[in-house]
Amino acid sequence: MKKYLFLLLIPMMLLGCKREPANPFFAEFDTPFNLPPFEQIKNEHFVPAFEEAIRQQEEVIAAIVANEEPATFANTIEELEYSSPMLTRVSRVFFNFNSALISPEIQAIAQQVSPMLSAHRDNIMLNAELFARIKAVYDQKDQLGLNPEQMRLLTETYQQFARNGALLPAEKQARFREINQELSLLSLQYSENMLGDVNAFRMVIENEADLAGLPESAIASAAERATAEGHEGKWVFTLHNPSVMPFLYNAHNRELREKMQTAFVNRGNNNNEFDNKKIAAQITNLRIERAQMLGFQNHAHFILEETMAQNIDNVVNFIDQVWAPGLALAKTEAARMQEMIRAAGRTYELQQWDWRYYAEKIRQQHYNLDEEEVRQYFELNSVRDGIFEIVRRLWGLQFVERNDLPKYHPDVQVFEVLEADNSHVGILYMDFHPRESKRGGAWMSSFRGQQVTREGEFIHPVITIVCNFTPPTATTPSLLTYDEMITFFHEFGHALHGLLSNVTFPSLAGTSVPRDFVELPAQIMENWARDPKIKEIYARHYQTGEPIPADLMERIIKAQHFNQGFATVEFLASTYLDLEYHTLTEPFAEDQLMEVTSIINQRTIDRIGLIPQINFRHGSTHFSHIFPGGYSAGYYSYMWSGLLDADAYAAFVETGDLFNQEVAQRFRETILERGGTKDARQLWLDFRGRDPEIIHLLRQRGLAQ
């Protein structure tokens, strides 16, 4: 009887214990090119995967420490370098999701795992026994016969531990951990507040007359958005760039321009649940405390120690040289706009919400250049194919669209990247248009970095570009503004830096270079975007396929330096703002925290003489680069990299051939392939043979002849 009862229970047990789908992170991805199996990844997979990945790395660390053999490069430095394959795999997917596929569930998971990861990192960096082994190898580095890349990894590993508290006494390490925990959560909250505040704003227009001046594409997008949100027959504008910028450049209604500009500059500064004022102050205070614990005067000194610029004096000296001519030009531009206002019979003074509007009027009047006319020749896929062709001519790369590969969102385009001989380079994802589940801006990231395993296998990279370009409408494809087109080239340059990496160690691969060097591969691509001879490759009318007319090209060339005073001042104002925060040596008192952003804003304005008609490109409460991002005390890097990219592009120009194969190959071999295997200045010298010259940057921006 018992036997038969047991047999009867078997199917019941099977029915009652339905097997949950396996967590895809617990094994190597079984997909083409080992891509993340996005359709299998569920939100509930992340936390268990993070927990298991942390456990696995802890086991490796414990084994390194327990090894009774003397510490060597192989049994300590290499073991540590390759200790986190699962954690890297999970982290890359999750944090890409947390930027491009955000949801309340993802945000909740981020709140849970961020302190876990911060604690795990501190457990490694503050492991005294592990650091002792690292130091033992480092102290004998000159006798080990290491190759240059091994020596670089050893030096970087030692310095990373030292800069993360390994040399602190035990009683200070506890506070160091607390600071890192707090910073991880505050940075996350800052980002979530930015997204929440942007998504919360809507300007609903009911009167068609208020649309006067706006291009048809902007009106159509606003109407489609209104319909989708239940405002049939109205128009909805948001703070996403493809919505707010056409409004500020074109809307005749000055009161509505003021409303949009005010909302735009006050993102995260509205005394609501998304307010970032206190968070920015708290982050600043914690960074001061942490830097001084490590023996630095302030956060800027701590950050700049590892950059190409090396110190704050070099940074300030450099940006001052660009600020002076930029401000002078901006004042001339402002006077010109004020004259236009007076000539129209108006008596008001030029304000921030007027600048873009009158700049566009002057551009149309003096250069006969209309953004809407230009956009007809920058259809998204045409620009994409043009970039592919430029890169093919420079380095022989091919891009083959793959509709059979996993995607994390239906809008994403996926390409296999091949060498000229058809050998595999990597996979490139491109995600172009805004959605509420995506943070603003544009960036490059990766789902897998390049490396060579300890067994000698070359691991090919999986790179992603994420943007917020003007979306298509019911009647037109995605037509890019001039600035969006430049942004596309820029992010593609970052992608090339990741795709063409050819190093051994993962922590030195691709974009693992100082912040003031990492923008070089991106910004040099912008030069090909601007060159009139190159535009013929990709600038074709989206309806007729006709190449951009010669007269329009000539007008674009004449307007290349138009409004550069504004562009330079707006950017550098934010650079000075960044430095104002991060050169502080005294934290603010608790009862001052809500006032810090206004104090620092005004102090910066007074220090540099910022004219009131121009605001910071990124203000204190929406400066994602420096608070949650990795550019604290480093926003100058874009201008510094401009110094490099202008000089690097001059190397092509000097040959008379913008596709010069000798220069292109040298740039690939010394910059794009080398990652962080050398000091940044040495990478530059390997390519150019001398230090960069600022005259190329000033000419590029129209600030010198």
Active-site amino acid positions: 491
Structure tokens at 494: 């970052």
CA–CA gap between residue 195 and residue 441 (Å, rounded): 11
Please give the Cα distance from 415 to 404 (Å, whole number): 10
For residue 673, the SS3 value is coil
The CA distance from 197 to 273, in Å, is 9
Are 647 and 692 in contact by the 8 Å Cβ rule? The answer is: yes
Q: DSSP letters along 342-390, please? A: HHTT--PPP-HHHHHHHHHHHHHHHH---HHHHHTTBBHHHHHHHHHHH
Phi, psi of 462, deg, nearest 5: -125, 110
Cβ–Cβ < 8 Å for 139, 73: no
Contact 241, 468 (CB under 8 A): yes
Reduce the DSSP state of residue 614 to 3 states and report it: coil
291-300 burial code (b ≥16 CB/10 A, e <16): bbbbebebbb
Residue 232 identity (one-letter amino acid): E
In this structure, how many other beta carbons lie within 10 angstroms of the beta carbon of residue 343? 8
**3-state SS, residue 214:** coil
Q: Most distant CA pair in the chain: distance in Å?
A: 104
Range 174-207 burial, b when 16+ CB lie within 10 A, else e? eebbebbbbbbebbbbbbbbbbbbbbebebebee
Residue-wise DSSP of 367-379: H---HHHHHTTBB
Q: How many CB atoms lie under 10 A from the CB of residue 224?
A: 16
Give the residue among 164, 252, 266, 260 at the shortest CA–CA distance from 209. 252
Give Cβ neighbours of residue 234 (< 8 Å, ≥ 6 apart): 204, 205, 206, 223, 226
- What are φ and ψ of residue 542, in 5° steps? -65, -20
**Beta pairing class for 413-418 and 458-459:** unpaired
Q: Which amino acid is at 161?
A: F
| Separation CA 514–CA 523 (nearest Å) | 15
CA distance 491 to 446: 12
Beta strands in 256-377 (DSSP E): none
First to last CA, the chain: 101
d(CA 412, CA 465): 10
The residue type found at 500 is: L
C-alpha triplet 115, 117, 118: angle, nearest 5°: 60
